[in-house]
Amino acid sequence: MANNGDSIKITNSVSGNATILALGKAFPQQLVMQDYLVDGFFKSTNCTDHELKQKLTRLCKTTTVKTRYVVMSEEILKNYPELATEGLPTVKQRLDISNKAVTQMAIDASLSCVKVWGRPLSSITHLVYVSSSEARFPGGDLHLARGLGLKPDVCRIMLAFTGCSGGVAGLRVAKDLAENNPGSRVLLATSETTIVGFRPPSAQRPYDLVGVALFGDGAGAVILGADPVPGVEKPLFELTSAIQQYLPDTEKTIDGRLTEEGIKFQLGRELPQVIESHVKEFCKKMLKGTVCSGAEYNDLFWAVHPGGPAILSKVEGRLQLKPDKLSASRDALRDFGNASSNTIVYVLENLVEESKKKREKGEEDSEWGLILAFGPGITFEGILTRNLVC
């Protein structure tokens, strides 16, 4: 790695920083193939607008998504036909479905993660729960803790309505908890569903079709802790430093509102350009004064939340990254769509697999990298990360 001509000495020890000890994911049963989405969506919503159907067909091709998982099903629409009817107050029905679904997916993802981790649930001391898909109190953090059978004195925190940056925000919060509570083990869980924003197509809301073509449902989970137990825990990534920044006067670019009809959500067309204009300075700020200060961007690995193909292309172009540098993000987008806060977990899993394959082949692998996400605000989240996969 370049560093203004100076060599960097790296030891194999983890310096007390939080580490990612395990990753997990879970999905609803309904798998949607992108090639069949358009016909199914227009049939289920009883829409015959040919122009809107053509528009959605074009969007589905440009998103690069191939498969996604969704909570919405024929059975749900049969039981709740009002969800496919324009203008009806359905927020109660949507939240009843969503609250139950996100909790179950979070439980499944957490159990999967704990199984990989190899230690008992009773070792979890803190819980961070992230979701933009529910609204209730007690919040989903308590429902998840109860569903997992965690101890009543587990310290909980919930991050709500953080959107696509929520997963990295959750990592940042979990990192602080792990580092400031010696011996702690933090479970981070994210869970999202698009059912709260499901609406029939309308010529008055053509931007809704972007969400139909792009977003997916699911859950992710991460176990974090400092000072991994030798021979028991196998750290994957060390989280060295984390920062957050919002861009003034951009709060309308990613706009979501909870209404009687559910969440009304709109992405501004300028979003990829706004991210492009600010991502380089944000990365410079994140690297300044660190072991990677002055590093060439192509010497790092990249875990970027795949908000969409345009965002990934703008980041790649602005930072002059080689095409393979964002392959983990593009593969996650292809397989799962933009699953909001969950997606960064899928990207990190892809990076782990990439690292293992490279090391099996004896190929050089980047030791240091950046985790990035962009959400409402517009908010940038970033973490400087060290690859510990062996």
CB 297, CB 320: distance < 8 Å: yes
DSSP secondary structure, 296-350, as one string: -GGGSEEEE--S-HHHHHHHHHHHT--GGGGHHHHHHHHHH-B-GGGHHHHHHHH
Whether residue 370 contacts residue 272, with contact meaning beta carbons closer than 8 Å, is answered with no
Question: How far apart are alpha carbons 169 and 342 in whole angstroms?
Answer: 11
Q: Where are the alpha helices (DSSP H) in the chain?
A: 34-44, 50-62, 74-79, 91-117, 140-148, 166-180, 208-214, 271-287, 309-319, 327-336, 343-360
Distance from C-alpha of 70 to C-alpha of 191, rounded to nearest angstrom: 12
3-state SS assignment for residue 4: coil
Distance from C-alpha of 131 to C-alpha of 176, rounded to nearest angstrom: 19
Using alpha carbons, select from 7, 218, 225, 196 the residue that is nearest to residue 98.
Answer: 196
**What is d(CA 274, CA 269) in angstroms, rounded to the nearest whole number?**
10
Q: How many residues does the chain have?
A: 390
**Residue 1 burial by Cβ neighbours in a 10 Å radius (0-12, 13-18, 19+):** middle
In whole angstroms, give the CA distance from residue 220 to residue 190: 5
Q: Which of 47, 60, 155, 164 is catalytic?
A: 164
DSSP state of 5: T
Tell me 126's DSSP state: E
Q: Are the C-beta atoms of 221 and 195 separated by less than 8 Å?
A: no
Which residues make Cβ contacts (< 8 Å) with residue 204, sequence separation at least 6?
A: none
- Assess whether 164 carries a catalytic annotation: yes
What one-letter code names the amino acid at 325?
K
Closest CA to 41 of 66, 77, 67, 87: 77
Just list the catalytic residues. Answer: 164
